[in-house]
A and B are shown apart, each in its own frame.
Chain A
């Protein structure tokens, strides 16, 4: 099966920033992404759980984008503007996709 190289960018960010991040991504031409809820975790601010939050605003989400390698820089610049001052993690991994024309 023919596969194509791509980049998988995962941005874990506070739920209140979700709309701002996706708007910035769309503005930068990244129209394909998946948003996942985050149940909890642990980091610099200590342990954290979805159950200890009174509303969705206290939670976090994970925004996953799979893009062509040449579009990575544009995406990261757009994402950085939103996440710079906020709690969160941005990671980039290499991946392969089956249908290159979709990304």
Chain B
């Protein structure tokens, strides 16, 4: 327990968390501080490019094995399964309609790549390493949860979900996935030599860029919470904190079964614990427009994302280390 508290304290006082807190505080104080939209987009492109490339280079230097394929399969299975678990919890803990509960559940099977990046950064800072292909696991976990949410609606709901051909293409080829997977493949092809060539750009400035990006995320989360806090009932708030812990337990089981490193187990826990706030909301607006976007966005971005960033990541790291002896 002391270990978890010490890790949490270290994490809370790290620059990335403090910049996130600054953003939230500025938003609540109604400051006019803002990161221009194009800059925020540029920062997210940088982070996806850097994390994808480094993951690919790591796979190139360590080689591939059956665990890679099994990890990808486990990621897909978890992404399909977690929305069903989330839906069950939501029906037990809240009074959300089937439509809203299914839409929220879909977010919790998918992932937050920023949480993944922050977790990777924490792993590096404590001197652990992880399997480079966890980046690819993150990419395959984005989309299945959306199909799962639509299945829940078809099974339990009265509203009709719209699953059109264009939506499938948009989900699978959304810019973040294309860049992440593309950078991963390029990193894999070029290996350590390629990484050495661009290291001054993607390694040294990484933490600083992440700080700026999290400042923007703090502003966005704070403003979103300020505008939509009326939808946040105690039951929903409790779900937003409980579900990441439940999801992380599934990630932990998967990581341990696959025999991943302590860092890999921790990243699997983080992926299973995180909730999407980019790909899934966009898909839900198209496929399930009757669902209230304030509920799922406030929960995933305003509750679960800050929880994972501040308390979740140290908990997942401590548990992964304790159970893997790392």
A positions within 8 Å CB-CB of B:
14, 16-17, 19-20, 45-58, 85-87
Annotate B206-229 by CB proximity to A: 1 below 8 A, 0 otherwise.
Answer: 000000000001011001101110
Q: Is B246 located at the chain interface by the 8 A CB criterion?
A: no
Q: Is B205 located at the chain interface by the 8 A CB criterion?
A: no
| CB of B38 to closest CB in A, whole Å | 11
With a CB–CB cut-off of 8 A, which chain A residues contact B217? 54
Q: What is the bound-complex CA distance between A68 and B227, given in angstroms?
A: 41
The majority secondary structure among interface residues of chain B is helix
Q: Is B194 located at the chain interface by the 8 A CB criterion?
A: no
**In the complex the two chains form, is A54's CB within 8 Å of B285's CB?**
no
The size class of the interface chain B forms with chain A is 20 to 34
What are 22 A-B residue pairs whose CB atoms fall within 8 Å in the complex?
A17-B285, A17-B286, A20-B166, A45-B293, A45-B294, A46-B227, A46-B294, A49-B223, A49-B227, A50-B37, A51-B34, A51-B220, A52-B223, A54-B277, A56-B37, A58-B282, A58-B293, A58-B297, A85-B162, A85-B290, A86-B289, A87-B289
**In the complex the two chains form, is A57's CB within 8 Å of B282's CB?**
yes
**In the complex the two chains form, is B227's CB within 8 Å of A48's CB?**
yes
Nearest residue (CB) in A for B159 is A85
With known contacts A45-B292, A51-B219, A58–B281 Cβ distance under 8 A: yes
**In the complex the two chains form, is B285's CB within 8 Å of A52's CB?**
no
| CB of A98 to closest CB in B, whole Å | 35
| CB of B130 to closest CB in A, whole Å | 26
**In the complex the two chains form, is B223's CB within 8 Å of A51's CB?**
yes
| CB of A97 to closest CB in B, whole Å | 33
| CB of A26 to closest CB in B, whole Å | 14
| CB of B276 to closest CB in A, whole Å | 10
Q: Is B278 located at the chain interface by the 8 A CB criterion?
A: yes
Q: What is the bound-complex CA distance between A50 and B35, given in angstroms?
A: 12
| CB of B293 to closest CB in A, whole Å | 7
Nearest residue (CB) in A for B231 is A46
**In the complex the two chains form, is A46's CB within 8 Å of B34's CB?**
no
Nearest residue (CB) in B for A14 is B285
Per the 8 Å Cβ criterion, residues 226-245 of B in contact with A are 226-228, 230
Nearest residue (CB) in B for A53 is B220
Q: Is B301 located at the chain interface by the 8 A CB criterion?
A: yes
| CB of A9 to closest CB in B, whole Å | 21
With a CB–CB cut-off of 8 A, which chain B residues contact A51? 34, 219-220, 223
Q: What is the bound-complex CA distance between A19 and B224, given in angstroms?
A: 25
With a CB–CB cut-off of 8 A, which chain A residues contact B226? 52
With known contacts A46-B228, A46-B294, A54–B289 Cβ distance under 8 A: no
Q: What is the bound-complex CA distance between A58 and B277, given in angstroms?
A: 10
Q: A55-B278, A57-B281 are in contact. List 10 more A-B contacts (CB 8 A).
A: A16-B282, A19-B166, A48-B227, A51-B223, A52-B228, A53-B220, A54-B224, A57-B278, A57-B285, A58-B293
